[in-house]
A and B are shown apart, each in its own frame.
Chain A
Amino acid sequence: MREDLLKEQLMRYARDGAEQAFQPGPAEIRRRARRHYRRVAALSVTGVLLAAGVGIGLGLYGRGATPTMQQPQPPVTSPAPQVVPPSTAPTTKPHPTTTTGAVHTGPPSSFVTLVGPPNPSASQAPRVGVVSTSTGKVIRYLSGPPAAGASVARPVVSADRRWVYYTVSAGSGPPQTYRVPFAGGPTTKVAETAGGNLVVSPDGSKLLFDARVAPGGRYGFTIRDLARGAERFIPFPFPQAGDVFGYAWSPDSRQVALVRGAVLDNERFPTQLFLLDVATGRWQEAVTFDANHGPAPEVGHLNVAWPAARRLAFVARIAGSGTVPGKHQLVYVDPQTGKLTPSVVLASDLNNLSRVEVNFLDFDASGRSLIYAVEGIQVSTWWLGGRAPVRVSQFAALSTDVNRAYKGGHW
């Protein structure tokens, strides 16, 4: 199925629906509008009375839906993380560590995510919130976007946990980068530009984000020195023919890993891992994932993490067959040798329902604990860590909205 054929089929499918659809007269639409807003008004009055009476705020949005942040999940939406037997997944070995921090025996105390209404609009966009991992509740909201109608995305936490960085989009202008103290406080602008990815170096000195413009016709990313404010454009080591799926700083903040794969049909390239020496700006092609090499980062994945010098982590989707659902497995790759080490299964696809996605991946500073998010029918956040046997627990179920980003950061 070529792209033009797919488009033709989808257009015909939509046209069939449109041709069969009944179109009521404009008067009926106006009546419908009056009915709708009478209902909203009635709900508003009820909400005010309830709030006044029992002190409970009633969020009114759309048809009166409340944010689903604490909505319990039906069992089938929960991915079923399972530990791969030690014979096939050497996860019983403790991960190499970059620090001598204590081993977590329970979920870390908090993480940062976007929380908000299921249908973000100009007036009700998601905000950055600090969420307790033990209760799943929002501990506090950090300052919202600086202007009405702006929306925030991609929150990340600095290594020292002092700052939360995020992007702000308003109108049709380019997104900008802001930061707010993790402990709460005023929001300040950090950079006039921002891209889809935002990654803070572990030493907290540099911020990496996609460059939206292509100086000299080259695409790449920007590294901003947070202390001096100087920015440096780093062009990709390839023409913009494939696409880039994720960046990760090395634990010593000296290198950046970049996973690149092909997105569109007419752009067929193997998935590759490149390493950048930040000081010299020199690129090195570290690993090419092909059919003989083993599991590859799933095309379309934005998740790469680098918890230890010789262990770079990604999520690979292992296809299912027949009634056996596909699974999403954590895989480590040694960036120096390309050696792959499959680890635990983070989630399984749902039988008879759509695939799930593992759409966030982050380790703590010790490299032993992992926080990740699974998006199926709903979005859920999971923690994996502790001593063997690996313990997996679900600790938060958040809104189902697709415009969501997570960052566990360095707890």
Chain B
Amino acid sequence: MAHLEGFEAFYAASYHRVVGQVYALLGDLAEAEDVTQDAFAKASFHWTRIAAYDQPEAWVRRVAFNQAHNSIRRARRWLVALARHGPPAPVPAVSADRLDLHRAMRRLAPRHREVLVLHYVAELPLDEVARQLRLPLGTVKSRLSRARSALADEVGDEREGVANA
């Protein structure tokens, strides 16, 4: 197990951080756990190589986010099929901010959630977000702007003119 030297410490230190970010992207804890554990499993398999990276956690997050996007697409297709056969079950009325945010985030496009999570939760500067997503910086900025605007629309918070520049 010499090739796994350092993996356990890395896993212990970064698992909760990554799973929190994936949860913010997916809005489903069980799915977030599954996706994150898969990503760490892949990291353990390639640990010799990944340990040499400047930011192994960024690699794990990227793998987890890719997997999360697949998961969202599957869920969306299921939702579309469900919509064809009638409205979904009514959602209990909630007023707590967190539940509002949870629902609002789940209604955002995945590409919007992704930039919000990377910039605000993972605290990456915009140029690093652009590098990790392989997108031009301008695209990341515009996507962030649209994400904030869409989030503001979803939570119905217009009192402070959120992001409607």
A-side interface residues toward B, CB under 8 Å? 1-2, 6-7, 9-24, 26, 28-30, 32-33, 36-37, 62-63, 65, 74, 76-77, 118-121, 125, 151, 153-154, 169, 172, 195-197, 210, 243-245, 261-265, 267-269, 299-302, 352-355, 357, 375-377, 400, 402-403
Contact = CB atoms under 8 A, between A and B. Distances in A.
Contacts of A121: 66
Interface residues of B, number: 77
A65 B67 CA distance: 11
Given A14-B23, A245-B142, 17 more contacts: A10-B101, A10-B117, A12-B98, A17-B20, A17-B24, A19-B16, A21-B29, A23-B15, A29-B11, A118-B69, A153-B135, A196-B139, A197-B138, A263-B142, A263-B145, A353-B107, A357-B109
Interface in B68-121: 69-70, 73, 76-77, 79-81, 83-84, 97-98, 101-102, 105, 107-112, 114, 116-117, 120-121
SS class, residues of chain B in contact with chain A: helix
Contact of A29 (B44, B136, B144, B151): B44
Contacts of A400: 69, 73
A303 to B, nearest CB: 11
Contact of A210 (B73, B136, B165): B136
B136 A354 contact: no
Contact of B142 (A20, A36, A195, A302): A302
A49 B103 CA distance: 46
B57 to A, nearest CB: 14
29 contacts: A1-B155, A2-B160, A6-B120, A11-B120, A13-B24, A14-B20, A14-B121, A17-B29, A17-B32, A24-B37, A28-B37, A29-B44, A36-B42, A62-B67, A63-B70, A76-B84, A118-B70, A153-B135, A169-B134, A196-B136, A196-B139, A264-B165, A265-B162, A268-B165, A299-B165, A302-B139, A353-B80, A354-B112, A377-B77
